[in-house]
Amino acid sequence: MTIAARPGRAVGAPLRREGPAKLTGTALYTDDLVFPGGWYGTTIRSTEPRARLVAIDLDPAFDWSRVAVVTADDIPGDNVVASIAADQPILVPVGGEIRHQAEPVALLAAADRETLREARLRVRLRTEALPPVFDPLASTVEFARYDLAKGDVDAGLASADLVVQGTYRVGHQEQLYIENNAMIAVPRAGGGVIVHGSLQCPYYVHKALKRGLRIGSEQAQVVQAETGGGFGGKEEYPSMIGLHAALLALRTQRPVRMIYDRHEDLAATTKRHPAIVTHRTGVMRDGRVVAQDIDLVLDGGAYTTLTPVVLSRATIHAGGPYDIPNVRIRGRAVMTNTPPNGAFRGFGAPQSEFAAETQLNRVAEAIGMSPLDVRRRNVYRLGGITPTQQVLRGGVAGEEVLERAAEASEFDRVRVRTAESRGRRSPRDRTARGIGLALAWHGAGFTGSGEAKMGSVVSVELSGDGVVRILTASTEMGQGTKTIFPQLVAAELGLPIEAVEMAPQDTALVPDSGPTVASRTAMVVGGMTIQAARRLREAVEGRTGRPFATSYRDDAADHGATRIDQAFEPYPGVGFDDATYTGDAYPAFGWAAAVAEVEVDLDTFEVAVRSIVAVDDVGRVIHPVLCEGQVEGGTLQAVGYATIEEIKLLDGRYLNDRLQTYLIPTALDAPRIETILVESPFAGVPHGAKGVGELPMDVGAPAVVAAIHDATGAWIHDLPATPERIMAALVGIDPPGPPGISTVSPRRAADGDTER
Amino acid sequence: MAIEPAVVSPATLAEAYAIAARGAHRPVAGGTDLLVQITGGIGPPPDRVLDLWRLDELRGISVRDGALELGALTTFSEIRASVACREDAPALVEAAATIGAAQIQNRGTLGGNVMNASPAGDTLPVLLALDAELVVGGETGERTIPAAAFWPAYRRTAIRPDELLVRIRLPLVADRRQRFRKVGTRRAQAISKVVIALAWRGDPGSGTWREVRVALGSVAATPIRAAAAEAALEGERPTESTAERAVAALVGELRPIDDVRSTAAYRREVAGRVLRRLVRDEGRW
Amino acid sequence: MSYHLTVNGTATEVAVPGMRRLLDVLREDLGLTGSKEGCGEGECGACTVLIDGAVAVSCLVPVCQVDAAVITTVEGLATPTTGLSSLQQAFLETGGAQCGICTPGMLLSGQAFLDSGAEPTDDAIREAIAGNLCRCTGYTKIVEAVALAAGRRDETGA
C-alpha cells in the first residue's frame, strides 16, 4: 500500500520496523513469553520505613515443601545491587537495616499462583522499629554534593537593581510505562542464568548478575524482550528484579517469572527525585540578570542508586539556558527513609529548570518586563560560558527555539488578550485563559567524563552469507532505535533500509554499547554506528573497488564475514575535569521552548491545558515521525508533571500505589501539541544529531505554570499545580502539604520515635 | 491471576432470589467494582459470587406508574443513550457520562453503583436529589427504600443479605429542574473530589424554588443531602443573596476529609463555589 | 464450568472457573497474548477487547458473563489475506504506536469508534480513546491515525 504522507512529514522515512508486530499483537513482551515448567516468583517486602530486621518467620503450619524460599543468606555473591555505590542490598539480611517501605526482604516461588498467594501470607517479618527521616532538609546523610561558581555572586547581587527570592518544590513522578516491570530467569545449561526482561540496559543487569551471583560474563546472559516503555524507570530497577528472578531460578532449577503488577511497580520501583530549590536572583531594570544564587536539594530516597548523576545534571542545568556573569549553584542529594528515587526522562533537569524558569518569570514580573523579552536578553548565544566554564562553541539554538515558539504561538498577541480579559474579570466568568512560555537547555548524552569512561562499543557486520547487521545493546522501548539505526547504516552504505538487520539485544550476541539513557542513543551510539558502517564500506570497497551497495554480496562470498567493532572515540576538543568539576559538561546542548495555553476553571481551579507549541532543537532530525513522537510524548509527560501527577506519602509509603490514585493524562486531558523541530547540529558526530528524548520534559511544566499565572495571577511554586494548590494561592485557604514529603501517621507520631 | 471464587449464574430472578436467600453470596452486576476489589486484594474476597448478568428481568428503561424506572442492570451507556433518561433525568445522564470511559460505561450498571455504596459514587447524589426509590426484592417479595435512607453508613446499604436490588424508580415531577456537576481528578476516567446534584421545582409565576434538593458525594462518609443548604434555597428565588446564604449553610454542614485525592479545605470551598455557580446560572446574575 | 465464546470468528469452548477474568482466559487459556494487562483495575485500557462489538476492559469481565458472546481481540483485526486492517495501517503510517503496549487496546477502541460511524472530530476521537492510557505518544499521532482511517473509510465507503 502506498503511503499518503503529508507534505514535509514522513516522506521517504521508513515505517517503524517492529510496528507490524506491535500492531497485530504478535510482539512478545516479557509476560507473553512461555517457559514450560516455569514457576512464579514473588517478593516479600518491608512494611516499615526504617527498622532492624530481627527475623523472618515462616509459619510452621504451612507446607513449605511446595515453595522455594530465598533470603539474603542464599545469595552466592555480594549482597549488593551493583550501581554507583554498593549500598543497596539485593535482600535485607537478618540483622540488617530496613531503610524504606516496600524494600525486598525475601523471595518465594511456587509452581502456581494460588500456592504462592497462600505462602505470602505465612511469612512474618520480625523487626525493631528505628526512627525514620522523611524531610530531606533534616537529613544528615548526603549522597553527593556539587558546587558550581562563576564570577562573584555576592558582588553581583549587591550591584543588582533588584533581588528576587523564591523557593520551589517538586514531588515524585512515576514513569508509568504501561507495561509493568517484568523479568524471567531461566537456568542456563552451562551454569548461570539467562534473564529475559523488560529493560533499558542489558549490560547493567548483566553486571548486577555477575556480582550478585558470583558468575562469569558467559554465565550471565541478558535478553531484552519487547519493552512497553521505560522513560528511565527500567534503567536500574531491572537489575534488582533480574537478580531476584535469577536467585529463584538457581534455587529451583526452573524458569521463574517475576511479573510485577501495577501496585507493586508503583509501590516499590524508582520515581523522579523530589527537589527543593531556592533561588536568589539579581536583576537590572533593563532585564539583565547579573547574579544567580541557587541552592538545590534532591531527595534520593533510601539508597544511592543513580542519585549522584541525577544531582550532577540537576545542578549544571539549575540556572537555565542563560548566560549570567555571576552564578553560584550548590546542589546536594540526601537520604530519606523512602523508596529510592532514580532515573526518569530529564534526569534532574526538569526539577531544576522548573524552578529556574518560574523564578525568571517572577523576576520579569518584578521589573515589568515580558517573559519573552527577559529571555531574549539573557539566553546563551554562541561563545557563551556556562557555570562549569564550558564555552558554547556550536549548536547554540536557544534564541532560535525561543523565537520560533513565540512566533508560532503568537505569544505577544495572545498575552495582550489574556491580560485584557484578566483586567475585565468578574464573578460571572467561569474560566480564565492564560499563556505561558518556557525555555530550556539539555546537555546531550552523559554528563562530564561519563561517556569516555563507559567505553561503549557498537558493531556492524557483513556476514558470510551477505547480510548487513547492526550489533548494539541499545534497546528499543518505543523511541525508535530499531528503525533509526538501520536507517543511518543504510544511508551510509547506500542500501535500502530493509537490507540492514538489527541483531537482538542479547548480551550473548551484542557488545556493550552502554545504557539506553540520557538521550544518547541517536547521538552517541548512532554516531558510532555510522562510523562502523563507514569503516565497513571502506573495507569492502577497498577490496572490491566498487561501490558497497553493488559489491558487498560478492565480497561476502569471496572474503567471508567482516565485522567492524567501533569503540567510542572521545569527541575532539571536548574535555571535563572531574576533580574541579569544570569543563565541557556535555559535548553539546539541545534547546527547547514551549508555549502553553491553559484554561482555568474559576470555580474549581481545574486546569485544562489547551495547546502547547513545542519547539525542540535536536541537532538533526533522523526520522521526522519518530522524532515528533518523542516531543509529543515528552510534552504530555511534562503536562502531567505540571498538573496532576503527585504521590502522597504516609510513614514513607506511597499512597498513590494504584492507577486509580496515580493519575496520568488521558486523551481528553492532553493538549493539542504542535511540534516544530529545529536543526542546529553537533559537529562531533557524523550525522549531527543531539538527541531528543529528554528535551521536551524540561519545558512543559514551567510553561504550564506560567500560563496558570497569566490566567489567574497566582504563582504556583510547588508541583504539581493542582486545583488544591491554585485555590490555596488565590483564595488564601490552607494549602496542601509540600509535595514529596511524607506525613507521619498519628500512631507513629505518638510513639515519639519518628523524627530525630 | 487473581483469586477466582465460585460463581453461580442464574437465568431467572426467582432462582437468584433463592440463591440470595441461602446467603453467603456476593452479587456481581457488571463487575467493574468487584473485580477491581478482588484483583487488588482490597478487602477480603468473597467466597461465592452470585452473577446477575443474565437476568434480563433487571434490564430496561421505561416510564411506568408516574416514574422513570431503570432496571438495576441498566448500564451507564444505556442511560446515556436513553431518550427517556435525557428527558426526565438529564442529571443522571450527565453523571453516567462522567463514569470511567466507554469500556466501563458499557459494563458498569446503575444498580452496581448503588450497591457499591461508595461515598464517591457518581450517580448517588443524583438519586438523592431526584428522590429515587430503590426497589429491592427477595423470596418474600419486593419493598421500596427511599434513596435518602439507603446508605446509612460508610459503604453500607439498607438492603438485607437475602435481597437484591431490582430497579430504581425516579418519580416524575412536573416542572422539576436538575443540575449536576462532578469535580474529578482529571477530565476522563476520573474519581470525584466533589459531586453535586441539584433539583427543584420552579414556580413559573413567582420564580421561587420549591422542593429543593441539594445532594453531594465525596464530602462525607456517605452520599448526603445538604439539609441546611436546601432550607436556605427553599421558597426563594435564585438571587445572589439567596445563593450566599445557601453556600454559607452548605459549607457549614459539610464534613469532608483529606485523602489521597484532595483536601477537606478544597472540597468544602469548591462545593460552595459550584453551588453558587449553579444558582447563578439559574438566576442569570 | 464450561463456557462457549466466539473469539476472532472461531467458536471456542473453555472449561475454567466462571470468575476467571476474560483477560486471563484469552492470554493463558487461549494463548492470545495480544491483550495486555497494565493495571488489573480497568484504568489503563491495555486489555480492551470488543464484546459483541462494544469495548470492554477484559480484566474486569468474568468469563461467566461472556458465555455465548462474540469477542474480538487485536489478533482478530488483521487477516492473512487482507493484511493489516485500515486502522492498523494508519497507526503504522502516522506513528500511532511507539512502545506498543497500549496499542492492542487502543486499536480496539479506535475500531469501535470507526464501526460506530461517528463523525471523526478531534473531540469525538479523544473521547473514544479516553479509556486507553498511552504514556509514549501524547495521543497526537493516535488521534491522527483514527482520523486517517476514518477518512479512508469515508472515501472508499468501506
What is the complex's ipTM, to 2 decimals? 0.98
| Amino acid code (one letter) for B19 | I
Contact B85, B91 (CB under 8 A): no
Q: Which of A266, A68, A92 minimizes the C-alpha distance to A185?
A: A68
Q: Which of A647, A694, A643, A646 minimizes the C-alpha distance to A669?
A: A643
Find, in chain B, the residue whose alpha carbon is nearest to that of A261.
B40
The answer to whether position A394 is within a domain reads yes
The residue of C44, C92, C140 whose CB has the most chain A CBs within 10 angstroms, and thus the best one to mutate to test that interface, is: C140
The answer to whether position A175 is within a domain reads no
The answer to whether position A739 is within a domain reads no
Quote the CA–CA distance of A544 and A550 in Å, as a whole number.
Answer: 10
- For A119: left if phi > 0, alpha if psi spans -120 to 50, otherwise beta; the answer is alpha
A703 and A616 within one domain? yes
The verdict on a CB contact (< 8 Å) between B187 and A604 is no
Contact B222, B119 (CB under 8 A): yes
The residue of B103, B104, B116 whose CB has the most chain C CBs within 10 angstroms, and thus the best one to mutate to test that interface, is: B103
Q: Which of A27, A10, A20 minimizes the C-alpha distance to C85?
A: A20
The verdict on a CB contact (< 8 Å) between A23 and C138 is no
The verdict on a CB contact (< 8 Å) between A648 and B188 is no
Contact B269, A605 (CB under 8 A): no
The verdict on a CB contact (< 8 Å) between C130 and B102 is yes
The residue of A24, A272, A630 whose CB has the most chain C CBs within 10 angstroms, and thus the best one to mutate to test that interface, is: A24
Quote the CA–CA distance of B117 and A656 in Å, as a whole number.
Answer: 22
A437 and A321 within one domain? yes
Task: Report yes or no: B103 at the C interface, CB cutoff 8 Å.
Answer: yes
The verdict on a CB contact (< 8 Å) between B103 and C131 is yes
Quote the CA–CA distance of A133 and A335 in Å, as a whole number.
Answer: 8
A227 and A210 within one domain? yes
- Cell 505569544 -> residue: A411
Nearest chain B CA: its distance from C90 CA (Å): 22
Which of helix, strand or coil describes residue A40?
Answer: strand
The residue of A6, A11, A15, A22 whose CB has the most chain C CBs within 10 angstroms, and thus the best one to mutate to test that interface, is: A22
pLDDT score recorded for residue A750: 58
What angle, 0 to 180 degrees and rounded to 10, lies between the N-to-C axes of helices A307-316 and A349-367? 20
Q: Which three cell numbers stand for residue A193?
A: 542464568
Quote the CA–CA distance of B131 and B282 in Å, as a whole number.
Answer: 21
**3-class secondary structure for A586-638?**
CCCEEEEEEEEEEEEECCCCCEEEEEEEEEEECCCCCCHHHHHHHHHHHHHHH
Element housing A413 (H / E): helix A411-423
**Could you tell me the strand order of the sheet in which A123-129 lies?**
A97-98, A51-58, A123-129
A318 and A433 within one domain? yes
Contact A690, A444 (CB under 8 A): yes
Q: What is the mean pLDDT of chain C?
A: 96
Mean pLDDT, rounded, for B190-214: 96
pLDDT score recorded for residue A756: 30
CATH of the domain at A489: 3.30.365.10
How many domains is chain A partitioned into structurally? 3
Question: Where does residue B154 rank: exposed (0-12), middle (13-18), buried (19+ CB within 10 A)?
Answer: exposed
Contact B21, B162 (CB under 8 A): yes
Kindly list the partner chains of chain B, i.e. chains with 3 or more CB atom pairs below 8 Å. A, C
Task: Report yes or no: A676 at the C interface, CB cutoff 8 Å.
Answer: no
- C65 alpha-carbon distance from chain centroid: 18
pLDDT in tens, B35-51: 999 999 999 999 999 99
Nearest chain B CA: its distance from C57 CA (Å): 6
Task: Report yes or no: C35 at the A interface, CB cutoff 8 Å.
Answer: yes
Nearest chain A CA: its distance from B258 CA (Å): 9
How is residue A257 annotated by DSSP? E
Question: How does strand A193-197 pair with strand A104-110?
Answer: unpaired
- A574 alpha-carbon distance from chain centroid: 24
The residue of A599, A653, A724 whose CB has the most chain B CBs within 10 angstroms, and thus the best one to mutate to test that interface, is: A724
Q: Which residues contact A723 (CB under 8 A, 6 or more apart)?
A: A601, A604, A605, A606, A607, B183, B193, B262, B266, B270
**Could you tell me the strand order of the sheet in which A39-45 lies?**
A67-70, A104-110, A39-45, A256-259, A182-187, A193-197, A220-224
Measured between CB atoms, which of B53, B104, B187 is closest to C131?
B104
pLDDT score recorded for residue C158: 52
Q: Which of residues 21-80 of C touch B (CB under 8 A)?
A: 21, 24, 28, 40-43, 45, 48, 51, 54-57, 59-62, 64-65, 67
The answer to whether position A5 is within a domain reads no
Element housing B52 (H / E): none
Contact A389, A577 (CB under 8 A): no
Contact A655, A648 (CB under 8 A): yes
Which of helix, strand or coil describes residue A274?
Answer: coil
- Cell 504561538 -> residue: A409
Quote the CA–CA distance of B79 and B97 in Å, as a whole number.
Answer: 9
Count other C-beta atoms under 10 Å from residue A123's C-beta. 18
A402 and A371 within one domain? yes
Contact A210, C82 (CB under 8 A): no
The verdict on a CB contact (< 8 Å) between C126 and A668 is yes
The verdict on a CB contact (< 8 Å) between A117 and B3 is yes
**Radius of gyration (Cα) for chain B, nearest Å?**
19
Which of helix, strand or coil describes residue C4?
Answer: strand
pLDDT in tens, B24-35: 899 999 999 999
Nearest chain C CA: its distance from A103 CA (Å): 21
Contacts of C146 in chain A (CB under 8 A): none
A437 and A337 within one domain? yes
Contacts of A644 in chain B (CB under 8 A): 185-186
Mean pLDDT, rounded, for B208-224: 97
Measured between CB atoms, which of C40, C88, C101 is closest to A23?
C88
A406 and A508 within one domain? no
A462 and A442 within one domain? no
Pseudo-torsion of CA B28, B32, B34, B36, nearest 10°? Answer: 160
A420 and A476 within one domain? no
Nearest chain B CA: its distance from C131 CA (Å): 5
The verdict on a CB contact (< 8 Å) between A24 and C75 is yes
The answer to whether position A137 is within a domain reads no
**Domain coverage including residue A73:** 38-126+190-251
Contacts of B185 in chain A (CB under 8 A): 644, 663
Domains of chain C as residue ranges with CATH: 2-76 (3.10.20.30), 86-153 (1.10.150.120)
Quote the CA–CA distance of A693 and A231 in Å, as a whole number.
Answer: 9
Contact A465, A557 (CB under 8 A): no
Contacts of B8 in chain C (CB under 8 A): 18
Contact A147, A296 (CB under 8 A): no
CATH of the domain at A235: 3.90.1170.50
A67 and A48 within one domain? yes
The CA angle B111-B115-B116, to the nearest 5 degrees, is 115
A296 and A403 within one domain? yes
A339 and A202 within one domain? no
Block means of pLDDT (10 residues each) for chain A, length 756 residues? 37 88 98 98 98 98 98 98 95 98 98 96 98 98 97 98 98 98 96 97 98 97 98 98 98 98 98 98 98 98 97 98 98 98 98 98 98 98 98 97 98 98 94 98 95 95 98 98 97 97 98 95 97 98 98 97 97 94 97 98 98 98 97 98 98 97 98 98 96 97 98 97 97 91 82 39
Task: Report yes or no: A624 at the C interface, CB cutoff 8 Å.
Answer: no
Task: Report yes or no: B23 at the C interface, CB cutoff 8 Å.
Answer: no
The answer to whether position A431 is within a domain reads yes
Contacts of A658 in chain B (CB under 8 A): 40
